[in-house]
């Protein structure tokens, strides 16, 4: 789930995670599939858990992140708002900046790991 080798970043609101790698990936999947259940499946996450995360996202921010349509087959579709897209982009930017800021320290850190995270250099 983390996009950057060796780190995950979470952004907090009053000490509770507002967005992190899981929620960012979920919103991106909902944006791709137009469906919370399809996004949950793609991530190997339960539908219930995906709903909880969407609820938490919509609660955390002043504007909605995901809009859901009631009715239709399987409870209707879901749509990521423009704000939701910007939110994921903002999170990705912060992840990227943090990753660059600690790149050198991370290499040193990795030397001490029993199983260093060397799957792929840099972004993946």
Residues in the site for a second copy, rule: CB under 8 A?
Answer: 1-2, 5-15, 17-18, 59-63, 83, 87, 90, 93-94, 97-98, 100-102, 105-106, 108-109, 112-117, 119
**At closest approach, how far in Å is the CB of 112 from a second copy?**
5
Looking at the DSSP bridge assignments, the partners of residue 55 are none
Q: Cα separation of 124 and 122, whole Å?
A: 7
Would you say 74 or 97 has its CB closer to a second copy?
97
Check: CB of residue 27 under 8 Å from CB of residue 80. Answer: yes
Between 18 and 77, CB nearer to a second copy: 18
- Whose Cβ is closer to a second copy: residue 7's or residue 42's? 7
Q: Is 79 exposed, middle or buried (0-12, 13-18, 19+ CB in 10 A)?
A: middle
Distance from C-alpha of 19 to C-alpha of 53, rounded to nearest angstrom: 10
The residue (of 73 and 105) whose beta carbon lies closer to a second copy is 105
Query: Shortest gap between Cβ of 120 and a second copy (angstroms)?
Result: 11
Q: Which two tokens stand for residue 77?
A: 């579709």
Shortest Cβ 67–a second copy spacing (Å): 16
105 CA to centre of own chain:
24
Q: For the CB of residue 24, give the shortest distance to a second copy in the complex, in Å.
A: 12
């Amino acid at each position: 789930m983390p996009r950057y080798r060796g780190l995950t970043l979470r952004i907090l609101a009053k000490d509770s995670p507002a967005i992190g790698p899981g929620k960012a990936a979920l919103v991106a999947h909902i944006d791709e599939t137009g469906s919370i259940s399809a996004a949950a499946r793609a991530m190997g996450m339960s539908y219930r858990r995906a709903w909880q995360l969407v609820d938490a996202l919509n609660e955390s921010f002043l504007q909605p992140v995901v809009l859901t349509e009631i009715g239709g087959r399987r409870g209707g579709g879901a749509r990521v708002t423009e704000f939701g897209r910007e939110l994921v982009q903002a999170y990705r930017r912060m992840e990227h900046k943090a990753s660059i800021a600690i790149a050198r320290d991370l290499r040193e850190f990795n030397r001490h790991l029993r199983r260093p995270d060397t799957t792929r250099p840099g972004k993946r």
